[in-house]
């Protein structure tokens, strides 16, 4: 990473070399470059990058310029000299051969070529010698690691070992916080450094363990959603007391949040709605409860679908690295009695299939209750008529 930062600094600093004029614009921005020509309407600037190896032309309208700061030749030389001082050899690590050549030719030699009579010439020549000497060591197969010159192969191995250790530690830190998803990329990166077997083997074991914990956590979440579905699917009891005298069931408790302004299931109707009678829930309250129940079930189905895809994806990723998929034990399917024995499945997919089958019994019961409420008068009359006929038959 140090090498990449040094390269970025190299290109940024070289972009400022040879810029001699500064233009302040009306929008508050500034542009620096060398004026190649100017007219009564505009300035034409040459913007230089990488020691004049990359240039572009830019035109600036005079009407857009607030102030022009022109440097004298001496000021321009001092500015360029200051830019060259940003390049220093790193006492801890060495660079790539190409980076040494770029700095020497595009910065140091470019300065001497542009300002041959500069008072800084001797200092810069000495600096060029130091950079060339270190470059020659790199060309000869040496590399600086932790301030010492050693064989380049050994330095690369030590550098990779440090990288693998950092990735392993980072993954373990995430794992200690139960952050399984961000932990796995770091552990996987360390496991790929196969030429450091002691680190790679440990990282591979930790990666498999992270997948196991992650899948178990997703399985628990799946069970919570199944419980939420079973709870939301339960119909209100027809003999349930008034909402004001009994605590009503909550919405799904684990992963859903009731939207603002939506009442709890069974919550009493607003005061503007006239109750149908003592111990009965108003029609408006029932309609609102039904709408909220349907909305809740829809949300749970959406989350179940998303979770099923997530589990499938994690299982596929775990299989690629040979991580074992844990056996999941889940409760009975939504809507079943709490006393039903748990169903043990071998994979998370089977758990999802067994737990996502909608319960039919509550729907049938709810339909029968609805018909009884709607046609209770004809049913009562028919029952009395049959009872009277049976009584007369017995009496005679």
pLDDT in tens, 189-199: 999 999 899 99
Confidence of residue 342 (pLDDT cuts 50, 70, 90): very low
Who wins on pLDDT, 346 or 35? 35
Fold category of 2-88+96-140 in CATH: SH3 type barrels. (2.30.30)
Please classify residue 347 by burial: count the beta carbons closer than 10 Å to its beta carbon, then call 0-12 exposed, 13-18 middle and 19+ buried. middle
Give the pLDDT confidence score for residue 375 in this predicted structure: 67
Which tokens belong to 258?
Answer: 């009731």
CA gap 142, 76 in Å, rounded: 38
Residue 229 has pLDDT above 50, yes or no: yes
- List for the chain the helix, strand, coil content (%; round to 5): 55, 15, 30
Give the pLDDT confidence score for residue 249 in this predicted structure: 42
Sign of CA dihedral 202, 203, 204, 209: positive
Residue 314 has pLDDT above 60, yes or no: yes
145: left (phi over 0), alpha (psi -120 to 50) or beta: beta
Confidence of residue 267 (pLDDT cuts 50, 70, 90): very low
Give the pLDDT confidence score for residue 392 in this predicted structure: 76
Least confident range of 70-84, 146-160, 303-317: 70-84
Who wins on pLDDT, 31 or 316? 316
Would you list the domain boundaries of the chain?
2-88+96-140, 152-215, 361-396
Task: Give the pLDDT mean for 197-220.
Answer: 93
Give the pLDDT confidence score for residue 103 in this predicted structure: 95
Q: Which residues are 38's β-sheet partners?
A: 43
Asked if 55 and 49 touch (Cβ cutoff 8 Å), the reply is yes
Residue 275 has pLDDT above 50, yes or no: no
For residue 215, the tally of other CB atoms under 10 A from its CB is: 22
Residue 278 has pLDDT above 50, yes or no: no
Query: Rounded to an integer, what is the distance from CA 71 to the centroid of its chain?
Result: 49
pLDDT in tens, 165-196: 999 999 999 999 999 999 999 999 999 999 89
State the chain's mean pLDDT as an integer.
Answer: 75
pTM value? 0.53
Give the pLDDT confidence score for residue 54 in this predicted structure: 66
Confidence of residue 353 (pLDDT cuts 50, 70, 90): very low
pLDDT in tens, 118-154: 999 999 999 999 999 999 999 999 999 999 999 999 9
CA gap 388, 393 in Å, rounded: 9
Which tokens belong to 252?
Answer: 């799904």
CA gap 232, 224 in Å, rounded: 12
- Highest average pLDDT, of 201-215, 247-261, 292-306, 378-392, comes from 201-215
Exposure on the CB side of residue 56, measured as CA atoms within 13 A: 7
Task: Give the pLDDT mean for 114-121.
Answer: 93
Residue 289 has pLDDT above 90, yes or no: no
């Amino acid at each position: 990473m140090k090498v990449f930062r040094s390269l970025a600094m190299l290109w940024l600093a070289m972009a400022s070399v040879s810029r001699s004029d500064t233009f302040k614009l009306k929008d508050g921005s500034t542009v620096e470059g060398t004026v190649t020509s100017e007219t009564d309407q505009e300035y034409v600037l040459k913007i230089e990058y990488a020691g004049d190896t990359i240039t572009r032309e830019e035109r600036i309208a005079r009407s857009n310029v607030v102030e022009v700061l022109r440097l004298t030749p001496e000021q321009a030389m001092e500015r360029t000299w200051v830019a060259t001082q940003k390049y220093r050899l790193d006492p801890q690590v060495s660079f790539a051969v190409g980076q040494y050549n770029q700095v020497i030719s595009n910065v140091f030699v470019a300065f001497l070529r542009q300002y041959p009579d500069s008072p800084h010439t001797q200092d810069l020549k000495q600096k060029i010698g130091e950079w060339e000497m270190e470059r020659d060591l790199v060309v000869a197969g040496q590399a600086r690691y932790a301030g010492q010159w050693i064989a380049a192969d050994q330095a690369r191995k030590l550098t990779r070992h440090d990288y693998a250790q950092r990735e392993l530690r980072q993954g373990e830190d995430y794992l200690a916080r139960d952050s399984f998803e961000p932990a796995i990329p770091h552990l996987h990166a360390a496991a790929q450094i196969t030429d450091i077997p002691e680190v790679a083997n440990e990282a591979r074991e930790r990666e498999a363990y992270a997948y196991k914990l992650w899948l178990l956590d997703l399985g628990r979440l799946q069970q919570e959603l199944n419980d939420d579905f079973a709870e939301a699917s339960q119909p209100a009891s027809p003999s349930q007391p008034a909402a004001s005298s009994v605590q009503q069931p909550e919405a799904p408790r684990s992963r859903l949040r009731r939207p603002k302004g939506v009442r709890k299931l069974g919550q009493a109707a607003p005061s503007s709605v006239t109750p149908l009678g003592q111990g009965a829930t108003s029609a408006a309250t029932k309609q609102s409860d039904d709408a909220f129940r349907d909305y809740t079930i829809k949300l749970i189905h959406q989350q179940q679908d998303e979770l099923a895809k997530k589990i499938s994806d994690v299982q596929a990723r775990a299989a690629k690295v040979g991580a074992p998929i844990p056996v999941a034990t889940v409760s009975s399917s939504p809507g079943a009695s709490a006393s039903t024995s748990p169903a043990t499945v071998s994979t998370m997919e089977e758990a999802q299939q067994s737990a996502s089958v909608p319960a039919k019994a509550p729907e049938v019961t709810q339909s029968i209750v609805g018909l009884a409420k709607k046609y209770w008068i004809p049913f009562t009359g028919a029952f009395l008529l049959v009872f009277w006929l049976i009584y007369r038959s017995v009496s005679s």
